[in-house]
Amino acid sequence: MKRSIGKKNRAFTLSEISLALGIAAFCLISILGLLSVGLKGTGDITRRSQAAEVASVVIADLRESADRTASSLYGIPMNTGTTLYLSEAGGAGEVTNFIKVDGTSGLARYRVEVSLERKEDQVLMGEVEVLWPVSGTKPLTTSKVAVPVVIPLF
């Protein structure tokens, strides 16, 4: 085998490889850190969407029962405030229904605060506020969705 004199073997040094691997590791760790933040944000958006759905179901129940003293589905008094505890019912692929449960049973997923007031016997005004999580232990933070309600009385 002949060796050519004067030509250097070209290769990366150990320090260059170590530096490149360090930079690559730093980039991967940063990307994985951002991934967890993104997933947490997606979960929060999903829960807010479900809470808005709970509020819309409660408001639909109130609108449907405007001529009664209490709503037909959840039994909400039409001229005072009340607190409901709701849980989800329905499996994967089914339409989600929200059922009324006992607040102390541990099954509740949402606490719904409904405040209503009659204005001049023509309109029912108030607010539906959905809070979560509902658990036996007090969570560090509670999220909520508040929706104003105006229901004409005919």
Q: Which residues of 86-117 are buried (b: 16+ CB within 10 A; e: fewer)?
A: bbeeeeeeeeeebeebeeeeeebbbbbebebe
Determine contact, residues 71/82, Cβ cutoff 8 Å.
no
- For the record, the structure tokens of 81 come out as 């405030």
Question: What pLDDT, in 10s, does the model give residues 42-99?
Answer: 878 888 888 888 888 888 888 888 778 888 888 888 878 888 888 887 655 555 678 8
Locus of tokens 């250097």: 8
Confidence band (pLDDT; 50, 70, 90) for 24?
A: very high
Question: What pLDDT, in 10s, does the model give residues 97-124?
Answer: 788 887 776 788 888 899 988 887 778 8
Q: Where are the domains of the chain?
A: 14-152
